[in-house]
Amino acid sequence: MSRRVSQTVTIKPEEPLEIFLDAGELYLAEADTRIRSLLGEGGVITLWHPHLKLGGMCHFRNVRMNADEPGGRTLNPAYADAALSLLQLEMVRAGATPRRFEAKLFVFDGPDADKTAKEAGKLLHDFGFKLTLDHNGSGNLVFDVWNGDVWIQKDAPSMIDAGKAPQDILEVYLDPGEWYFSDADTRMKTLLGSCVAVVLWHPQKRLGGMCHYMLPQRNGAASNQGLDGRYADEAMQLLVDALRKERTRPQEYEVKIFGGSSMLEGSSINVSKRNIEAAYRLLKQHGFRLVGEDLGGRAHRNLVFDVWSGDVWLRKGSR
C-alpha cells in the first residue's frame, strides 16, 4: 500500500457566511458564502458566475407555477420558474449577466424524478442558463460560492450519531490502485472515472477504509510481490486483512460504493460494468453490509470520506 497526503486545495474564506435553505427558499451571494440545503423533495438549482464569483441557489418543490391557482400571479420561489425569475432580478441588480452563470440541477430521486429533471432542464434552457451537471439523488447539498463546487453528502448519519471533526486532520489522497485504513482523525479523498471505490466505516469504533481499484481481477498468474490494490478482489482482501487486525469483522461495517462511469463511448470492453459487478460480488462474499451507492453514468466523481463521522461527500464532474 502507498499513500499521498494531500497538500491542496481551494481558497476558502477564513469565516464563510453559512446559509441554509428550506424548500421554497432562494439566495444569491458573493464569494465568502456557503449555501446549504437538504435534498429531500423537489429539486435544487445552483447558479455560479466563474469570473465574478457570484452564486445563487433555489430549492423548488415544483417546476412551473399555475396561474389559475390562488396567488398564481405572485412569484413564489417554491416553483422553479418563479425562483429563477427572482434570481435573475437579483443578478441584474448585482451587475451580472444571467447567461454567464453555470447551472447545476439536483433532483430528489422520487417516483417523478426523471420527469422533474427533464422539465427543469428545459426551463433552465429557456432562461438561457448553461446546464453543466444534472443529478438525481438525495442528501445534504453544500454549495461553496468561492469556487463553484457543489458537494452531496451521501446517506448522512443523524446529527446525534455524527462525530465531530478532529483539530488535526490527516488528509490522504488515493490514486488508482491505492487503499488506506485508519482511525477517526483521517479524511480520505479520491477521483473516480471507470474505477470503483469501496468505502468502509465502523460506526462504533470510528474506523474506516477506502480502496480505489481499476479492474475486477488480475489476468494471468498472481505476482510474488503480494496483493495488488489495482484489482478488486485483491484490494478488498487488503481491507479485510486490515480490519481484522483491529479485531473487527466485515459484518460490523457500513459500506458505500462509488464510480464505474462509462468514460469512453463505444468501448467494446465495458470495464466500468465489470468493476461494478465485482463490487457487489465481493461485498456479498466477505459479508459486508451495503448501505449506499452512486454508480454508473458518464461523469467523473470526487469523493471525500471523513472517518470521524462516516460522512462521504460526492462531487460529480461536469458533462
User: What CATH number does the domain located at 170-316 have?
Assistant: 3.30.1330.200
Q: Please give, one letter per residue, the 3-state secondary structure of the chain.
A: CCCEECCCCCCCCCCCEEEEECCCCEEEECCCEEEEEEECCCEEEEEEECCCCEEEEEEECECCCCCCCCCCCCCCCCEHHHHHHHHHHHHHHCCCCHHHCEEEEEEECCCCHHHHHHHHHHHHHHHCCEEEEEEEECEEEEEECCCCEEEEEECCCCCCCCCCCCCCCEEEEECCCCEEEECCCEEEEEEECCCEEEEEEECCCCEEEEEEECECCCCCCCCCCCCCCCEHHHHHHHHHHHHHHCCCCHHHCEEEEEECCCCCCCCCCCHHHHHHHHHHHHHHHHCCEEEEEEECCCCCEEEEEECCCCEEEEEECCC
Residue 3 has pLDDT above 50, yes or no: no
Residue 195 has pLDDT above 80, yes or no: yes
pLDDT of residue 287: 97
Domain range annotation of the chain: 17-152, 170-316
What is the per-residue pLDDT across 6-30, written as a single tens digit (0 to 9) for each?
A: 333 346 777 789 999 999 999 999 9
Residue 107 has pLDDT above 70, yes or no: yes
What is the per-residue pLDDT across 228-241, written as a single tens digit (0 to 9) for each?
A: 999 999 999 999 99
Residue 115 has pLDDT above 90, yes or no: yes
pLDDT of residue 156: 47
Quick one: what percent of the chain has pLDDT higher than 70? Answer: 86
Q: What are phi and psi of 272, to 5 degrees?
A: -60, -45
CATH of 17-152, one of 3.90.550.10, 3.30.1330.200, 2.40.30.10, 3.30.420.40: 3.30.1330.200
Residue 154 has pLDDT above 70, yes or no: no
Q: Do domains 17-152 and 170-316 have the same CATH topology?
A: yes
Least confident of 12-16, 124-128, 262-266: 262-266
pLDDT band, residue 129 (cuts 50/70/90): very high
Residue 73 has pLDDT above 70, yes or no: no
Residues 6+ away with beta carbon under 8 Å from 251: 287, 288, 289
pLDDT of residue 167: 64
pLDDT band, residue 160 (cuts 50/70/90): very low
Q: Report the distance separating Cα 55 and Cα 91, nearest Å.
A: 9
CB atoms under 10 Å from CB of 156, counted, come to 19
pLDDT of residue 165: 60
Sign, CA dihedral 300-152-197-283, equals: negative
pLDDT of residue 68: 62
